[in-house]
C-alpha cells in the first residue's frame, strides 16, 4: 500500500472518488462537500493531507487542519490503516491540544484514536448527516420572491451574497452561545473563491440556486452537488442575507434543490447541520423540509 501527501487537483479527485465509492448511510464524506472545501484542503497553509492507496484507488485519506485537528475516512475493508493515519496525525500536528472529528460510523478510526489515548469529548459541538429521498416537492415562496439558477454574469454578486449570509456577527447562534467575534469580522469568500467552486467537480450551474427578491436582488443561495455514480447529492452551503431572513427562503431553496436533483436523475439528497444547541436553526429548518438524521460526528480529544 502506498502513502503520499496531496500534491494537486488529481489527488483531490482521488479523495472525492474514494468518498463516492464509500458512500452509505454510515459514511460522512461526499464529493460535493469536499469540492466546497477544496480551497482549504489544497492550501498547505491551512493543513496537510495524507493519501493511502494502491494505484488510483484510495483506501484512506486524512486531513490535518493546522495546528491540531484531524478529519479522516477509512475504507472499512482496510481498518488496519487507521493506526497509520493516527500515527501520521501525531507526528505532524503542531499543537499539544489535539482533536479529531469523525463519523459515528467510522469505527476503525475511533478505535485507533482510543488506542492512542484519545477520548470522546462530552458536550463538544457535533454535526448531523441529514438525508431525504430526491422527489418532487411542494415549494412555498414569500410573495414576490422567485428561485432560479445563478447566471454566468453574476459571480461578483453571488460572492457578495455569500459574504452577507455568512457575516460572523449575524449568524443564528443559540442564546448564550455566540462567540466573541472581532469587530467588523467578515467572511473571506471572494469572487475568486466562487470561481474556484465553479471549476471544481461535480459543480453544475443548474444546481447552483438563488432566491431572488421582488426588486431583483439576490436574497439567498444554495449549491447542490450531484454525484452521478451514486445518485446522491449534497447541499453545501445554504445561506440567506440577513435582510431577507425569516421568510422561509432557505427551506424553499433546499426543497427546490431536492426537486431539481430528482429531475436530473438523482435519488438522495444529504445536508449537514450542527446537532447541538449552540447553532440550532439550520437543523430545525432542514427537519421541517423532510431531512432526517442518519449519522453524526463525534469529537475526540487528547491533551499533552
Q: Could you read off the pLDDT of 124-181 as tens digits, one per residue?
A: 999 999 999 999 999 999 999 999 999 999 999 999 999 999 999 999 999 999 999 9
pLDDT at position 304: 63
| Distance between CA atoms of residues 21 and 57, nearest Å | 10
Q: Extract long-range pairs of 40-47: CB within 8 Å, 24+ residues apart.
A: 40/65, 41/6, 41/12, 41/15, 42/6, 42/8, 42/9, 42/12
Mean pLDDT of 20-31: 95
Work out the mean pLDDT of the chain and round it to a whole number: 95
Q: Do 2-120 and 131-295 have matching folds? A: yes
What CATH class is the domain 2-120? Answer: alpha beta
- Say yes or no to pLDDT of 303 above 90: no
Radius of gyration of the chain (CA): 19
Q: How confident is the model at residue 95 (pLDDT cuts 50, 70, 90)?
A: confident
User: Domain 131-295: what homologous superfamily?
Assistant: Gcn5-related N-acetyltransferase (GNAT) (3.40.630.30)
pTM of the model: 0.96
Percent of the chain at pLDDT exceeding 90: 92
Nearest residue to 264 (alpha-carbon basis) of 292, 297, 299, 227: 227
CA atoms within 13 A on the CB side of 66: 12
Name residues whose C-beta falls within 8 Å of residue 47's C-beta, 6 or more positions apart in sequence. Answer: 40, 41, 63, 64, 65, 66
pLDDT-derived band at 105, boundaries 50, 70, 90: confident
Is 92 a residue whose pLDDT tops 80? yes
Task: Decide if pLDDT at 11 tops 90.
Answer: yes
Every domain of the chain and the residues it spans: 2-120, 131-295
**What is the pLDDT averaged over residues 183-195?**
93
Amino acid at each position: 500500500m502506498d502513502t503520499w501527501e496531496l500534491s494537486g487537483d488529481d489527488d483531490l479527485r482521488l479523495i472525492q472518488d474514494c468518498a463516492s465509492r464509500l458512500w452509505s448511510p454510515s459514511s460522512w464524506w461526499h464529493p460535493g462537500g469536499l469540492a466546497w472545501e477544496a480551497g482549504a484542503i489544497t492550501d498547505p497553509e491551512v493543513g496537510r493531507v495524507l493519501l493511502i492507496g494502491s494505484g488510483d484507488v484510495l483506501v484512506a485519506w486524512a486531513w490535518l487542519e493546522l495546528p491540531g485537528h484531524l478529519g479522516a475516512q477509512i475504507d472499512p475493508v482496510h481498518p488496519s490503516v487507521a493506526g497509520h493515519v493516527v500515527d501520521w496525525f501525531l507526528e505532524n500536528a503542531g499543537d499539544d491540544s489535539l482533536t479529531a472529528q469523525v463519523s459515528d460510523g467510522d469505527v476503525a478510526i475511533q478505535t485507533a484514536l482510543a488506542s492512542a489515548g484519545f477520548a470522546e469529548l462530552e458536550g463538544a459541538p457535533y454535526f448531523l448527516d441529514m438525508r431525504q429521498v430526491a422527489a418532487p416537492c411542494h415549494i412555498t415562496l414569500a410573495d414576490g420572491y422567485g428561485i432560479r439558477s445563478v447566471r454566468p454574469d453574476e459571480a461578483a454578486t453571488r460572492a457578495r451574497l455569500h459574504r452577507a449570509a455568512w457575516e460572523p456577527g449575524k449568524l443564528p447562534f443559540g442564546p448564550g452561545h455566540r462567540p466573541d467575534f472581532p469587530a467588523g469580522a467578515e467572511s473571506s469568500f471572494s469572487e475568486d473563491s466562487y470561481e474556484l467552486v465553479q471549476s471544481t467537480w461535480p459543480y453544475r450551474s443548474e444546481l447552483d440556486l438563488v432566491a431572488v427578491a421582488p426588486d431583483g436582488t439576490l436574497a439567498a443561495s444554495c449549491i447542490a452537488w450531484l454525484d452521478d455514480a451514486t445518485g446522491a447529492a449534497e447541499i453545501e452551503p445554504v445561506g440567506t442575507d440577513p435582510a431577507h431572513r425569516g421568510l422561509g427562503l432557505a427551506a424553499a431553496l433546499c426543497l427546490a434543490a431536492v426537486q431539481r436533483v430528482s429531475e436530473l436523475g438523482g435519488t438522495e439528497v444529504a445536508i449537514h447541520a450542527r446537532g447541538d444547541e449552540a447553532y440550532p436553526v439550520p437543523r430545525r429548518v432542514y427537519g421541517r423540509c423532510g431531512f432526517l438524521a442518519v449519522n453524526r460526528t463525534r469529537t475526540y480529544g487528547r491533551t499533552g
